[in-house]
């Protein structure tokens, strides 16, 4: 591009003279007759020259002009010019010297050759990688013990098991001779696995901070470029730098960007850029030349798609699972994220931790920051418990929407949400309903929010059926109260379909299909590797489960129609009801204590966020 630009400038600057006014041939003859032509220069039928006085033609004016003499012109131009004493020159305009002619003719070619030689020399001297050396240098960021404030294990909470797994690596990096004298070798690679936001990257930084060793950090996507071979060259350069600074740490975030299984590659041929990069990583970690004193940390939330060669011993020897924190872990995380906040005496971090079941570290950090922003917006001097409660509501339910609902639509929404809330009160084992609102928030026109008491990690079949029954409570309330259904149950039906299909296709909870798992590993989709008969049975079993749960919802609400009416009228008056007001309106005594039932006959709400059962959930059950 630069060479083309230079070629254009040469042709413009050296071949073209000053700008000239283009005038018609008749205008030129008129100016000759008016004795306003100073001189002319002719080349064929092209005429250039200068006027004695500036001439305006159209929107332009000037003394230097040019024109074309028509080939059919029969006038005696030479006699006319001599008559008016106009000097005539037959030399071509803008005459060029021999040197300039050579420069214009061979200049572009010389520039191309010179530029190619310059780039070749730069690439050859750029380091490892040959002609790709200039592009193949690693873009990893280097953090050293002197780089500034460092992250330590004190900044990490809620994942104590993961910290314990990495403590040996930190000890080796601090005192490698203690292990080397016994012939022990540190693991070549450690893979951090967990959902997004659980603190995998933070944990890697803490390892570097605790070990006080050079730390090379980059994302896996930074290896790959459009030019084939660049990724492999960057891998070689990264490991070369890490070996020079050994003992050191390399951290590769989002490893699945380049570490996907080669067997599932959709590209044609085996030498595409991603595979070359992966092959080079495999070689550097455990190839012909052993890798010593360089620990490779990597993070991913999709370990199932990684190439098996990455996971074998000698490559990523250890897999550290970074799970969402339990209640005690969430409280410890909140203590870290609120240590710089000015908290009011009424703030109870334990209660906040209980209200955020299923939340990960990133969610809790956002809630703490959101509460501080709300307090500052209100002009408060301290962050109160009410600010945290509102921050949780914003995170779970979304922001308020300034829309005005008509009385009929508002009543319909009240019955829909009251159906959810009443099912949460009547179904055995359900989590306590905390809030019922018909104020539009986020994408919903109303919400029913129930808070789990404890974290749960195993779900019996009866519990899942109760979740479906509860989700259908809003639609069932519309049928009981209005004898018709509306579009308001769309998100509920999505959750119902997902849970019922998982029960049949994933958890083997169908007597007709039996203990089979039909889910394709890696993407959570139902794999089409079974017969049409199995597919038909799957659909029939999903339909059967949903129909049975729907009948239960309609039956329970029909038997408690008076409670449904009272609850709907109460929420219509106040727009939002808290836990005590919900129990009072429904005429039900709140339980003195809550103990989760392992297998209730008709269980209720979900107790923790489960990405596989309901992606729309955020720790607590929300029905819209």
Which residues are designated catalytic?
Answer: 417
Residues forming beta bridges with residue 623, ordered by sequence position: 448
Rounded to whole angstroms, the Cα distance separating 512 from 545 reads: 12
Q: Is 402 helix (H, G, I), strand (E, B) or coil?
A: coil
Closest C-alpha to 402, from 446, 444, 441, 443: 441
In 3-state terms, what secondary structure has residue 188? coil
User: What does each C-alpha distance from 111 to 2, 6, 25, 100, 134 come to in angstroms?
Assistant: 10, 9, 41, 15, 21
Q: Which of 400, 479, 353, 422 is nearest to 605 (CA)?
A: 422
Distances in Å between the Cα of 152 and the Cα atoms of 170, 185, 245, 318, 500 are 11, 24, 21, 21, 44
Token duo for residue 68: 């074309």
What is each CA distance from 492 to 56, 226, 331, 425, 474, in whole angstroms?
77, 44, 31, 18, 8
Neighbouring C-alpha atoms within 13 Å toward the C-beta of 143: 20
CB atoms near residue 21 (< 10 Å): 19
152: nearest Cα among 137, 165, 170, 138 = 170
Strands, E assignment, 376-478:
433-437, 447-450
Q: How far apart are CA 372 and CA 384, in angstroms?
A: 9
User: Length of the chain, please?
Assistant: 624
Cα-flanking dihedrals φ and ψ of residue 378, to 5°?
-80, -5
Calculate Rg over the CA atoms of the chain.
39
Q: For residues 570 and 330, give the distance between their C-alpha atoms in angstroms, rounded to a whole number.
A: 35
User: Could you tell me which residues come within 8 angstroms of residue 52 by beta carbon, excluding any fewer than 6 positions away?
Assistant: 35, 36, 37, 38, 63
Report the distance separating Cα 349 and Cα 332, nearest Å. Answer: 9
Q: Two tokens at 196?
A: 């997004």
Residue 471 near residue 484 (C-beta atoms within 8 A): no
Q: Which two tokens stand for residue 505?
A: 């296709």
Phi and psi torsions of 294, nearest 5°: -125, 115
β-partners of residue 306 are 260
Cα angle at 353 between 348 and 358, to 5 degrees?
A: 165
């Amino acid at each position: 591009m630069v060479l083309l630009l230079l070629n254009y400038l040469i042709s413009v600057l050296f071949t073209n003279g000053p700008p000239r006014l283009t005038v018609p041939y008749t205008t030129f003859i008129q100016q000759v007759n008016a004795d306003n032509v100073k001189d002319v220069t002719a080349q064929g039928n092209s005429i250039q020259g200068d006027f004695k006085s500036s001439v305006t033609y159209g929107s332009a004016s000037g003394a230097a002009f040019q024109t074309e003499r028509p080939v059919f012109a029969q006038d005696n131009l030479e006699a006319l010019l001599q008559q008016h004493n106009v000097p005539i020159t037959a030399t071509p305009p803008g005459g060029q010297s021999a040197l300039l002619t050579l420069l214009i003719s061979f200049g572009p070619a010389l520039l191309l050759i010179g530029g190619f030689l310059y780039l070749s020399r730069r690439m050859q001297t750029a380091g490892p990688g040959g002609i790709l050396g200039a592009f193949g240098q690693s873009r990893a960021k280097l953090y050293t013990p002197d780089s500034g404030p460092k992250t330590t294990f004190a900044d990490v909470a809620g994942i104590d098991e993961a910290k314990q797994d990495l403590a040996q690596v930190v000890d080796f990096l601090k005192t490698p001779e203690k292990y080397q004298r016994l012939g022990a070798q540190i693991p070549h690679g450690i893979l951090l696995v967990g959902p997004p936001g659980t603190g995998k990257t933070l944990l890697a930084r803490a390892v570097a901070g605790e070990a006080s060793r050079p730390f090379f950090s980059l994302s896996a996507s930074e290896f790959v470029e459009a030019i084939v071979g660049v990724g492999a060259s960057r891998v070689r350069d990264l490991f070369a730098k890490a070996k020079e600074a050994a003992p050191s740490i390399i951290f590769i975030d989002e490893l699945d960007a380049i570490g996907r299984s080669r067997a599932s590659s959709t590209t044609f041929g085996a030498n595409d850029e991603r595979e070359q990069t992966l092959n080079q990583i495999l070689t550097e970690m455990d190839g012909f030349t052993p890798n010593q004193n360089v620990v490779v940390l990597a993070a991913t939330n999709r370990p199932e798609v990684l190439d098996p060669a990455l996971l074998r011993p000698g490559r990523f020897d250890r897999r550290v699972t970074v799970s969402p924190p339990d209640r005690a872990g969430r409280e410890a995380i909140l203590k870290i994220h609120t240590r710089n906040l000015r908290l009011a005496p009424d703030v109870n971090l334990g209660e906040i931790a209980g209200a955020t079941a299923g939340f990960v570290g990133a969610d809790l950090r956002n809630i703490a920051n959101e509460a501080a922003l709300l307090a500052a917006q209100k002009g408060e001097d301290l962050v109160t418990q009410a600010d945290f409660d509102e921050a949780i509501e914003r995170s779970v339910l979304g922001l308020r929407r300034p829309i005005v609902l008509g009385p009929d639509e508002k009543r319909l929404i009240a019955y829909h949400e009251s159906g959810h809330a009443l099912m949460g009160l009547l179904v055995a084992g359900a989590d306590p309903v905390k809030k019922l609102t018909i104020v539009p928030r986020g994408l919903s026109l109303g919400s029913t929010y129930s808070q789990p008491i404890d974290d749960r990690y195993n779900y019996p079949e009866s519990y899942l059926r109760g979740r479906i029954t509860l989700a259908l409570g809003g639609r069932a309330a519309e049928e009981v109260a209005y004898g018709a259904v509306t579009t308001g149950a769309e998100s509920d039906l999505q959750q119902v379909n997902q849970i019922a299909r998982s029960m049949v296709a994933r958890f083997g909870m169908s007597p007709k299909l039996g203990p089979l798992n039909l889910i394709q590993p890696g993407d959570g989709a139902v794999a089409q590797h079974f017969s049409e008969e199995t597919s038909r049975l799957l659909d029939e079993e999903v339909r059967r489960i949903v129909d049975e749960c729907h009948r239960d919802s309609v039956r329970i609400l029909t038997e408690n129609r008076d409670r449904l009416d009272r609850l709907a009228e109460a929420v219509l008056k106040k727009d939002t009801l808290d836990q005590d007001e919900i129990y009072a309106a429904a005429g039900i005594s709140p339980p003195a204590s809550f103990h989760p039932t392992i297998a209730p006959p008709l269980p209720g709400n979900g107790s923790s966020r489960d990405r596989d059962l309901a992606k729309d959930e955020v720790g607590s059950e929300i029905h819209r």
